[in-house]
């Protein structure tokens, strides 16, 4: 089977570009590589990262420049040249409607993968050109298969679309790295994410101020996406003013993994997510999570992979408790590593992906 993707950031991840950012794009790269290992052919079209028609292969995945002119024409030529069985698209966009039409015109089946809880609610999904949400909804109708990250997203999807929707677990790279027992880890709390308003770095500041005896390491650069003017500048300024916060700014992906691997705890302050890839990365290293609001399908609580705080005061209490009880962290670490090795390895993701595509007609 052959699949295509169109995404420049996927190429940056494949190329180990330190500017690569975005959990969904990293996931798409890991999935593409896993599918190639399972016998698939995967080609990624890139608009700007490679000159037109220039190609490069990385870990078996082919990347090819498709030009940066007329978008729809570039897609059409790409599909006609590659003649894939499937085109995979991730995240909500008004472009999904035209992409779906282009796929049908080229006799290519379209896969849509939700990467955020809002992706299953077309009226509120778009952060850009929100008035064009009907184009996005049109694209969901065109899609031959829809993959969701957890049961909550499946339930939130329009009942008319649920018959073609399947669960697809996130993938985490199972890196066999010596991360050490929690008793011997450097005692700090990691916070990882772009400084977007919905990630609530303001709550990170509130928490850090109230427990000045605990060290925080923060990875994440400013952004204008879904963020009001001046917000990031204020957050960066205030992070720099706290003596117990080590703000690193934008950190290359591999270095970010090192920060997560060495932390005692990963803190999440987000209001909205899908199934955060940073959770899977933390659990793969045996780093428990303290999350204010995000717990897809209740997995953190049900499997004991950390805590769901619900509010700032409880988060502070949970952090202080876990920092004082490394033996509890160690127990969480064992459960977390077992969970990702069983449910979020490449084999599990490919199996779920192929199962979801069974029976689809052209």
DSSP character string of 119-143:
GG-HHHH-SSSGGGHHHHHHHHHH-
CA-to-CA distance for 122 and 331, rounded, in angstroms? Answer: 40
The pLDDT assigned to 31 comes to 96
DSSP state of 49: S
| Res. 362: pLDDT tops 80 | no
| Res. 297: pLDDT tops 60 | yes
| Res. 172: pLDDT tops 80 | yes
Tokens found for residue 11: 């190429």
The pLDDT assigned to 222 comes to 86
| Res. 180: pLDDT tops 90 | no
Q: Would strands 215-219 and 245-247 be described as parallel, antiparallel, or unpaired? A: parallel
CA-to-CA distance for 62 and 299, rounded, in angstroms? Answer: 35
**Phi-psi category of residue 121: left, alpha or beta, with phi > 0 → left and psi -120 to 50 → alpha:** beta
The pLDDT assigned to 80 comes to 94
| Res. 178: pLDDT tops 60 | no
> For 200-224, what is the mean pLDDT?
95
Which residues, 6 or more positions from 281, have their beta carbon under 8 angstroms from its beta carbon? 172, 257, 260
Share above pLDDT 90 across residues of the chain, in percent, rounded to a whole number:
87
| Res. 134: pLDDT tops 70 | yes
| Res. 30: pLDDT tops 90 | yes
DSSP state of 52: B
The pLDDT assigned to 224 comes to 73
- What band does 128 get if pLDDT is binned at 50, 70 and 90? confident
> For 148-161, what is the mean pLDDT?
96
The pLDDT assigned to 204 comes to 97
Tokens found for residue 128: 């850009």
The mean pLDDT value of the chain amounts to 93
CA-to-CA distance for 126 and 93, rounded, in angstroms? Answer: 6
- What band does 179 get if pLDDT is binned at 50, 70 and 90? low
For the full predicted model, state whether its pTM sits above 0.85.
yes
| Res. 67: pLDDT tops 70 | yes
> For 191-209, what is the mean pLDDT?
95
The pLDDT assigned to 359 comes to 72
CA-to-CA distance for 361 and 109, rounded, in angstroms? Answer: 8
| Res. 40: pLDDT tops 80 | yes
The pLDDT assigned to 336 comes to 94
- What band does 202 get if pLDDT is binned at 50, 70 and 90? very high
Which residues, 6 or more positions from 83, have their beta carbon under 8 angstroms from its beta carbon? 2, 108
| Res. 345: pLDDT tops 70 | yes
| Res. 176: pLDDT tops 70 | no
| Res. 216: pLDDT tops 70 | yes
The pLDDT assigned to 274 comes to 93
DSSP state of 158: -
Instruction: Pick from 70-74, 254-258, 313-317, 334-338 the range whose average pLDDT is largest.
Output: 313-317
Asked which of 46-55, 90-99, 179-188 is least confident by mean pLDDT, the reply is 179-188
> For 320-337, what is the mean pLDDT?
94
- What band does 72 get if pLDDT is binned at 50, 70 and 90? very high
CA-to-CA distance for 165 and 148, rounded, in angstroms? Answer: 7
Which residue ranges form the domains of the chain, and what is each CATH number?
A: 2-171+346-357 (3.40.50.2000), 188-343 (3.40.50.2000)
């Amino acid at each position: 089977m052959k699949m295509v993707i169109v995404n420049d950031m996927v190429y940056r991840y494949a190329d180990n570009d330190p500017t690569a950012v975005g959990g969904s794009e990293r996931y798409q790269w890991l999935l593409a590589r896993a599918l190639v290992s399972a016998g698939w052919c995967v080609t990624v079209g890139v608009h700007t990262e490679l000159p037109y028609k220039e190609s490069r292969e990385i870990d078996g995945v082919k990347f090819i420049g498709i030009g940066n002119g007329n978008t729809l024409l570039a897609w059409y030529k790409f599909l006609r040249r590659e003649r894939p069985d499937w085109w995979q698209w991730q995240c909500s966009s008004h472009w999904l409607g035209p992409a779906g039409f282009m796929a049908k015109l080229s006799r290519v089946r379209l896969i849509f993968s939700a990467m955020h809880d809002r992706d299953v609610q077309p009226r509120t999904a778009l952060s850009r050109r929100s008035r064009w949400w009907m184009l996005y909804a049109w694209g969901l109708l065109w899609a031959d298969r829809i993959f969701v990250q957890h049961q909550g997203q499946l339930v939130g999807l329009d009942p008319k679309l649920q018959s073609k929707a399947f669960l697809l677990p996130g993938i985490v790279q199972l890196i066999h790295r010596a991360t050490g027992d929690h008793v011997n880890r450097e005692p700090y709390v990691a916070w990882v994410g772009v400084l977007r308003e919905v990630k609530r770095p303001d709550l990170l500041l509130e928490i850090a101020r109230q427990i000045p005896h605990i060290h925080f390491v923060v990875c994440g650069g400013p952004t204008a996406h879904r963020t009001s003017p001046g917000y990031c500048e204020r957050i960066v300024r205030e992070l720099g003013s706290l003596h117990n916060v080590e703000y690193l700014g934008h950190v290359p992906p591999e270095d970010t993994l090192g920060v997560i691997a060495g932390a005692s705890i990963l803190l999440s302050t987000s209001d909205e997510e899908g199934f955060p890839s940073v959770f899977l990365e933390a659990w793969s290293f045996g780093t428990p999570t303290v999350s204010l609001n995000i717990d897809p399908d209740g997995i953190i609580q049900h499997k004991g992979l950390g805590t769901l705080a619900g509010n700032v005061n409880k988060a502070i209490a949970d952090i202080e408790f876990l920092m004082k009880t490394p033996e509890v962290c160690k127990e969480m670490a064992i459960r977390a590593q077992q969970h990702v090795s069983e449910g979020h390895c490449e084999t599990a993701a490919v199996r779920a992906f192929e199962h979801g595509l069974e029976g689809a007609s052209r």
